[in-house]
Amino acid sequence: MLESLSERLQGIFSGLRGKGRLTEEDINSAMREIRLALLEADVNFKVVKQFCARTKERCLTAEVLESLTPAQNVVKIVLDELTELLGRTDSKLVLSSRIPNVIMLVGLQGSGKTTAAAKLAYRLKQEKHSPLLVACDVYRPAAADQLQTLGDEMGVRVYRGDGKDPVAIAKEGVQDAIDHLRDVVIVDTAGRLHVDDEMMEEAEAIKRAVKPDQILMVVDAMTGQDVVNVAAAFAERVDFDGVIMSKMDGDARGGGALSIKQVTGKPIKFISAGEKPDSLEEFHPDRIAKRILGMGDMVSLIESAVRVQQEAEEAETAKRLAKSQLTLNDFVDMNRQIRKMGGVRKLVSALPGGDKALGSGQVDEGALDHMEVIINSMTKAEREKPDLLNGSRRARIAAGAGVSVTEVNQLMKQFNETKKMMKKMMPSVDELSGKKGKK
């Protein structure tokens, strides 16, 4: 996600870290590089200017320059300012008490509206709502069929008023939700390739007809800062409450995501990163900022793990793992769950430095299978008590698995690091499990 920007910034920081003490000139030169990196990521120039001015001012203090770890302090300040740029606070989707709640999606054609509508429905269904999808895009011939197919796959009802006008379809859709006891209506509207009057008028008419509880604008992350102009046009005519940033899995440079909140004042609520229905993630500015700076996104990772656990009703295992009573059998289980969570690449991408590792080709998709083969060569006692693994046992296991002792040692190192990490993450997991308990 936003790999090239992330790489550039991390490069700048490792240059600073190598210096030990920092002078004013070091900060100035780092700021020039950061400015360039942001401009190249297609962030709006006004946003870049403000960002750099604020960051520089905060970095050029005696407190930072004369501290024992000046580079670390600079990274902290950039992290803080980046979080601010992305919107600071989480902006969750809050449904009002009206039943059915109506969520209307707007955006240009091809921005990913239909896909996002389906993903949102999937998410709401997971949260025990009963959504209804309404197909109001009557101009793109395949749009209603696309929505229908996605709805059928997820077991979500789709209302399509083939042959009718979009305003009538939207109204009838709401009635259909009432008739079929659905509590959230997601209205997929038509887009055009460019902002035009007709599209805006239609969106306004639908808005008047169904009085949505909220309007979300779907924005293609690949469009860069141009989205800001489109968003401003929508904000002026139909107004909207938040943004779904789609196609974040592609090679989006980041300009759109980093500019939109500052320029339009509208928060990003979700990011869509993939083809699968479960690839709509809540947007957490602090976590994304950390990812951009190569610090990983452990909390999302744990949340994803907890979700998988919940689905399998294995939350108890998660707690045990978190309490660091990890065994190698658990490691094999985790291995299998990683596959359920979208595979190694998705997971690595959320780890500190993960995107960089992915970019450099260091990530081997087959590594998990390899690991399983090694663990399978251990005795039951060894798997449960990894401390037993002395030199001669490791040599026996290596021979049994057909690998070198170094590979067994690497696996054990990874295992021990995971154990440590799990221990650190324990409060988050408990918090999450607690959340589950309240539901």
User: Which residue ranges make up the annotated binding site for GTP?
Assistant: 107-114, 188-192, 246-249
Question: Which CB atom, from 83 or from 114, has the smaller least distance to ligand GDP?
Answer: 114
249 belongs to the binding site for ligand GDP (CB under 6 A): yes
Closer residue to ligand GDP in complex, CB, 117/292: 117
Q: Token match 């037993």: residue? A: 388
- Which of 101, 115, 262, 309 is close enough to bind ligand GDP by CB under 6 A? 115
- Which of 17, 50, 79, 110 is the binder for ligand GDP (CB under 6 A)? 110
Residue 153 C-beta: closest distance to ligand GDP, Å: 13
Measured from the CB atom, is 15 or 274 closer to ligand GDP? 274
Q: Which residue has the tokens 């490791």?
A: 394
Q: Alpha-carbon distance 166 to 136, whole Å? A: 5
Cα–Cα distance for residue pair 412/389, rounded to 1 Å: 9
Amino acid at 155: G
* CB-nearer residue toward ligand GDP: 247 or 269: 247
Which residues, other chains included, contact 232 with Cβ-Cβ below 8 Å and sequence gap of 6+?
Answer: 263, 264
Q: Which of 348, 435, 329 is nearest to 92 (CA)?
A: 435
CB of 196 to ligand GDP, least distance (A): 15
Please report how close the Cβ of residue 199 comes to ligand GDP at its closest, in angstroms. Answer: 12
For the CA atoms of 166, 167, 173, 175, the dihedral, rounded to the nearest 10 degrees, stands at -160
Stretch that binds ligand GDP, among 15-23, 53-61, 269-277, 313-321 (CB under 6 A): 269-277
Residue whose token pair is 């197909």? 135
Among 55, 114, 225, 259, binds ligand GDP (CB under 6 A): 114
Q: Which stretch binds ligand GDP (CB under 6 A): 46-54, 268-276, 368-376, 425-433?
A: 268-276
205: its two tokens? 């008419």
| Residues with Cβ within 8 Å of residue 331, at least 6 apart in sequence | 371, 375, 415, 418
Q: Minimum distance from CB of 133 to ligand GDP (Å)?
A: 12
Q: What is the CA radius of gyration of the chain?
A: 25
Integer CA distances (angstroms), 336 to 121, 309, 313, in order: 27, 12, 15
Check residue 107 for interaction with ligand GDP (CB under 6 A).
yes
Work out whether 106 is an interface residue with ligand GDP (CB under 6 A).
no
Residue type, 285: P
The H-or-E segment that residue 219 falls in is strand 214-220
Q: Which of 112, 161, 166, 267 is close enough to bind ligand GDP by CB under 6 A? A: 112
CA-CA distance, 70 to 66, in Å (whole number)? 7
* Least distance (Å) between residue 89 CB and ligand GDP: 24
Nearer to ligand GDP, 109 or 428 (CB): 109
Stretch 176-205: interaction string toward ligand GDP, x if CB under 6 A: ---------------x--------------
Residue 102 phi/psi, 5-degree rounding, is -115, 125
CB of 239 to ligand GDP, least distance (A): 19
Residue found under tokens 């907890």: 306
Please enumerate, by residue number, every residue annotated as part of a binding site: 107-114, 188-192, 246-249
Which residues contact residue 223 at a Cβ distance below 8 angstroms, ignoring those fewer than 6 apart?
A: 111, 230, 256
Q: Are the beta carbons of 250 and 260 closer than 8 angstroms?
A: no
Taking the complex as a whole, how short is the minimal distance between the CB of residue 66 and ligand GDP, in angstroms? 46
Size of residue set near ligand GDP by CB under 6 A? 17
CA distance 399 to 411: 15
Report the C-alpha gap between 131 and 277 in whole angstroms: 14
Out of 6, 10, 246, 304, which residue is the one contacting ligand GDP (CB under 6 A)?
Answer: 246
Assign 181 to helix, strand or coil: coil
Q: Which is nearer to ligand GDP, 270 or 331 (CB)?
A: 270
- Distance of closest approach, residue 272 Cβ to ligand GDP, in angstroms: 4
Stretch that binds ligand GDP, among 31-39, 110-118, 124-132, 394-402 (CB under 6 A): 110-118
Residues in contact with ligand GDP, shown as a per-residue x/- string from 271 to 290 under the rule CB under 6 A? -xxxx---------------
Kindly tell me which of 40 and 278 has the beta carbon lying closer to ligand GDP. 278
The contact set with ligand GDP (CB under 6 A) reads: 107, 109-115, 191, 246-247, 249-250, 272-275
